[in-house]
């Protein structure tokens, strides 16, 4: 079965640089979520999109923005990167019409800011 | 607001034994879903099992079962006949059922299976 695809898998950036993370949800899933997981921590919700519209926003810094495109893929744009942005970034997708609306996670993008 | 508490930072179990990972939750929502995810050292987040708040029967998926006690607000994961490959971090999570709602995670339990 098709899974959530994230690219790149690893990314190394310098402070103050920008980064773009991409997410391709499972086909026919209508909702995309972004989570940030710091070292030794649980995943924290950043932002979500339902049918290409932002549906919820969590603890996402103003330096970050995201959008979902017409083909349902999503991108997380991160600017003025800081050392504290080093983390594992997950994209998850779900289908709101499914009985459980389970969120399935991609493999994650590991971002290292030097 | 929702809160998940996992009180066991680490668990050590012998191979082939059963193990129970604890999860308690707090929510004001009437309808909610409870989830368990496994995170191996490679980092991916793997969905294991789901329990809806109105489900009368405990969920089971192969060797995984969820011991759901609604009055106690607990949703413990039971892994039967543990295997070496079960060594991983395990997260309990929840969200309201209606709408595109975010998951709230517990702190996780690191499970180590000894041969």
pLDDT in tens, chain A (114 residues): 789 999 999 999 999 999 999 999 999 999 999 999 999 999 999 999 999 999 999 989 999 999 999 999 999 999 999 999 999 999 999 988 887 889 999 999 999 999
Residue at token pair 């549906």 = A55
Q: Characterize B44-77 residue by residue with b for buried, 16 or more Cβ atoms within 10 angstroms of its Cβ, and e for exposed.
A: bbebbbbbbbeeeeebeeeebbbbbeeeeebbbb
Percentage of chain B modeled with pLDDT above 90? 91
Q: Out of B35, B52, B102, name the one closest to residue A56 (CB).
A: B102
Residue A86 CA from chain centroid, whole number: 14
> Over 80: is that where the pLDDT of B103 sits?
yes
- pLDDT band for position B51 (cuts 50, 70, 90): very high
Residues 46-85, chain B, touching A (beta carbon < 8 A): 46-47, 50, 52
* Cβ pair B36, B64 in contact under 8 A: yes
Q: What is the dihedral of CA B115, B9, B59, A4, to 10 degrees?
A: -90
pLDDT of residue A97: 82
- pLDDT band for position B1 (cuts 50, 70, 90): confident
Q: How far is B86 from chain A (nearest CA, A)?
A: 18
């Amino acid at each position: 079965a098709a899974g959530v695809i994230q690219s790149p898998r690893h990314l190394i950036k310098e402070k103050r640089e920008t980064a773009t993370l991409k997410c391709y949800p499972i086909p026919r899933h209508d909702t995309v979520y972004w989570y940030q997981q710091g070292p030794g921590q649980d995943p924290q919700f950043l932002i979500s999109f339902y049918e290409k519209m932002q549906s919820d926003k969590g603890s996402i810094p103003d330096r970050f923005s995201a959008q979902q495109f017409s083909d349902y893929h999503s991108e997380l744009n991160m600017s003025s990167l800081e050392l504290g942005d080093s983390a594992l970034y997950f994209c998850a997708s779900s289908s709101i019409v499914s009985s459980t609306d389970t969120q399935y996670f991609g493999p994650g993008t590991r971002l290292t800011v030097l | 607001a929702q809160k998940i508490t996992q009180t066991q930072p680490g668990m050590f179990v012998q191979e082939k034994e059963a193990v129970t990972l604890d999860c308690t939750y707090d929510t004001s929502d009437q309808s909610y879903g409870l989830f368990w995810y496994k995170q191996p050292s490679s980092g991916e987040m793997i969905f294991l099992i789901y329990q809806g708040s109105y489900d009368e029967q405990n969920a089971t998926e192969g060797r995984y079962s969820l011991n759901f006690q609604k009055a106690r607000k607990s949703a413990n994961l039971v892994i039967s006949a543990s295997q070496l490959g079960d060594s991983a971090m395990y997260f309990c999570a929840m969200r309201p059922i209606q709408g595109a709602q975010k998951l709230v995670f517990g702190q996780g339990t690191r499970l180590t299976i000894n041969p």
